[in-house]
A = this chain, B = another copy of it.
Amino acid sequence: MKKHNFSSGPAILPQSVFEEASNACVDFAGMGLSILEISHRSPEYVAVYEEAISLIIELLQIPDDYEVLFLTGGASSQFFMSAMNLLEKNETAGYVDTGSWSAKAIKEAQNFGHINMLASSKEKNYTYIPKGYTIPSNLKYLHLTSNNTIFGTQYKEWPDTSVPIVCDMSSDIFSQELDIQRFGLIYAGAQKNLGPAGVTLVIIRKDILGKVERVIPTMLDYKTHIAKKSAFNTPPVFPIYVCMLTLRWLKAQGGIGVIKTKNAAKAKLLYDEIDRNSCFQGTTDKGDRSTMNATFVSTNADYDQAFLDLCNSTNISGVKGHRSVGGFRASMYNAMDIGSVEALVAVMKEFEDKL
């Protein structure tokens, strides 16, 4: 029986995508070959890649002065690649520390230039998104983490600045519309709303590149991958194919406007129950709650294992909280049907009723 998958990532994708991907593993596009054995120079793979890029441009309304790339190495590689490509040794970039991933981005960027940490919510265990800090206009860029998967917070509006924003959107890209022009660089590990683990999306405004003096290894230079359409070396063919299928699904759903409304309804349903139910409480400031990852704890430590056991017995998977927060975390990415959130809410009510 299919489980309700609340995993924080790698995460749920549409069931139709799993079925199409399954078929392609045996025979792809009538080629008489598996997608796992075809050349990345074949017309059939090139068509997959080009459709994926076109769908991203269409769904996010990306202007012509940007490039869209599929790389590897995850957001963890973008932490250093972004600074290596954009920040000269004597220049300063601004960073906002909203959780473990921001902190890692800061650590890696420090090797390449000056880092001005503009704000941090670390002193309250990252339970809110800092606001109202000053952003110097001479920063090379401002680095943000749009959604904090571990701590369950999310930016509801972007800071008001003319400095180009570099943003790690791994866990909420494609969940809401974006004014792309606010961003110099967006990066995202695929394994939440976009596809399976093993590929990283990069959206970059071309004019911010080529301005640092340092020697950059060919594979770490965004310009390499722009020139070679993400195929300077052999790309991760199958992960990119699954991204393309997921993007097709998103378009067929009605696009990002429609999915945003669905995401809001799912989040409201769950957060309303967290606030109502006497056994649970949320862990973040209400105004900063993530629509993707709802973090909550029980009001009595004795409940923790009992609630997880009840979830396990009712086909609800992946709700154990990250050790940094404890308790529970329910991730509700694009592909999750509201029926799964209803199932979780029903179990929360049942848990309260049984006490």
Are B22 and A198 closer than 8 Å at their CB atoms? no
The interface bits of chain A over 1-42 (1 if a CB of B lies within 8 angstroms of the residue's CB, else 0) are: 111010111111100011101110110000111101111100
Give CA–CA (A275, B203) in the complex, Å.
51
Closest B residue to A35 by beta carbon equals: B196
A80–chain B nearest beta-carbon distance, Å: 4
CB distance from A165 to the nearest CB of B (A): 22
- Kindly state whether residue A99 has any CB partner on chain B within 8 Å: no
| Interface segment, one of A71-79, A86-94, A117-125, A260-268 | A71-79
Question: Does A292 have its Cβ within 8 Å of any Cβ on chain B?
Answer: no
- A103 vs chain B, min Cβ distance (A): 12
With contacts A22-B26, A318-B39 taken as known, whether A218 is within 8 angstroms of B73 at the C-beta atoms is no
Interface size class of A (residues with CB under 8 A): 35 or more
- Kindly state whether residue A238 has any CB partner on chain B within 8 Å: yes
Bound together, the chains give a CA A37 to CA B5 distance in angstroms of 8
Chain A 163-195: CB-based contact to B (< 8 A → 1; otherwise 0): 000000000000000000000000001010000
> Any chain B CB within 8 A of the CB of A234?
yes
A107: chain B residues within 8 A (beta carbon):
218
Instruction: Provide the bound-state CA to CA distance between A19 and B217, in Å.
Output: 38
In the assembled complex, the CB of A71 is this many whole angstroms from the nearest CB of chain B, namely: 9
Set of chain B residues within 8 Å of A220, measured between Cβ atoms: 80
A335 — nearest CB in chain B belongs to which residue?
B37
**Interface check A111, CB cutoff 8 A:** yes
Q: Using known A-B contacts A73-B219, A191-B234, A217-B108, determine if residue A2 contacts B198 with beta carbons closer than 8 Å.
A: no
Residues of chain B contacted by A10 (CB below 8 angstroms): 36-40, 234, 237
Flag whether A136 is at the interface (Cβ < 8 A): no
Interface residues of A (CB under 8 A from B): 1-3, 5, 7-13, 17-19, 21-23, 25-26, 31-34, 36-40, 72-77, 79-80, 84, 104, 107-108, 111, 189, 191, 196-199, 215, 217-220, 232-239, 242, 315, 317-318
The 9 listed contacts between A and B (C-beta, < 8 Å) are A7-B39, A10-B36, A21-B25, A22-B23, A32-B317, A72-B74, A73-B77, A104-B218, A239-B239
